Amino acid sequence: MIRNLFAAALLAALCAGLVTAAIQHFRVTPIILHAETFEGEGGHSHGAEAVVDHVDAPGTPAHSHDVVAATVAAPEEWAPQDGFERTAYTTLATVLAAAGFALVIGAVSMFANIPITFANGFLWGIAGFLTFSLAPAYGLAPELPGMPAADLVARQLWWTGTSLATGGAILLLAKTRANWAFAVAVALVVAPHIIGAPASPDEPSAVPAHLATEFAAITLGTSLVFWLLLGSLFGKFSDVFATRKAAIPAGAIA
């Protein structure tokens, strides 16, 4: 049974992850690459923002500001080469993240004793989308490279807390529809947004607004496709493995 759970989760993650990676390749990554061409022109820069806090006049030749800036910028960090290598890493990372999400909802299914089937897989997908995409995005809009953003750890904490609270609320309502449960669920969903996500610094972004809005819409849409696929496929594969098990004659050691 543990094998069935892992097999269904990983197979669903592979399929949903590859489809998502394909959508990302054609619709999402081009916007990221476009945004990166503006990176460093505005108030935010990659890695050295604590040191370089001014904007040079247009046409100023490249120069280093002080020793700290030089040492921060000098070591070349490894990064995949643009082109095939970068696409391959993104595809791999997306499939691995998909496997992570699939195993997490598989774990929730085990703990909560709610099976993931083809009949309810769509709902699992919607729950996953609300929990891990829409609720966090409501406070922290999908960000492009080069956009000003609050402290990373603070944002990661808020993202995690919001997902836990939203997921907890959905799970509670999946288990019971008692009046108190509705009250607790509403409180769980709303609390992170009353606390508030870490606010972005009020500084101009070098990334054009139309790129940012396009990116937010496309990433949320892609996440919805990903989650509906993941939930439905997870349920489908679970059903298939369960019926295969059911074909074993009673009395045989399953």
Site for other proteins in 68-97 (CB under 8 A): 77-80, 86, 89-90, 92-94, 96-97
**Run of H or E including 99:** helix 84-112
CB of residue 170 to other proteins, shortest distance in Å? 17
Number of neighbouring beta carbons within 10 Å of residue 59: 5
246 to 1, 2, 118, 240, 242: CA distances (angstroms): 12, 15, 17, 10, 6
C-beta closer to other proteins: residue 136 or 189: 136
Q: How many residues bind other proteins (CB under 8 A)?
A: 71
CB of residue 87 to other proteins, shortest distance in Å? 9
Closest CA to 122 of 240, 3, 23, 225: 225
* Residue 7 interacts with other proteins (CB under 8 A): yes or no: no
Interface map 117-156 toward other proteins (x if CB under 8 A): x--------------xx--xx--x-xxxx---x--x--xx
Closest CA to 218 of 10, 5, 34: 34
* Span of 58-66, 120-128, 169-177, 236-244 interacting with other proteins by CB under 8 A: 236-244
* Residue 109 interacts with other proteins (CB under 8 A): yes or no: yes
* Residue 113 interacts with other proteins (CB under 8 A): yes or no: yes
CB of residue 110 to other proteins, shortest distance in Å? 3
Interaxial angle between packed helices 209-246 and 29-36, expressed in degrees from 0 to 180 and rounded to the nearest 10:
150
Enumerate residues 168-207 that contact other proteins by CB under 8 A: none
Enumerate residues 31-60 that contact other proteins by CB under 8 A: 32, 46-47
* Span of 66-74, 167-175, 179-187, 212-220 interacting with other proteins by CB under 8 A: 212-220
Distance of alpha carbon 234 from alpha carbon 214, whole angstroms: 30
Supply angle C-alpha 198, 102, 96, rounded to 5. 75
Distance of alpha carbon 2 from alpha carbon 11, whole angstroms: 14
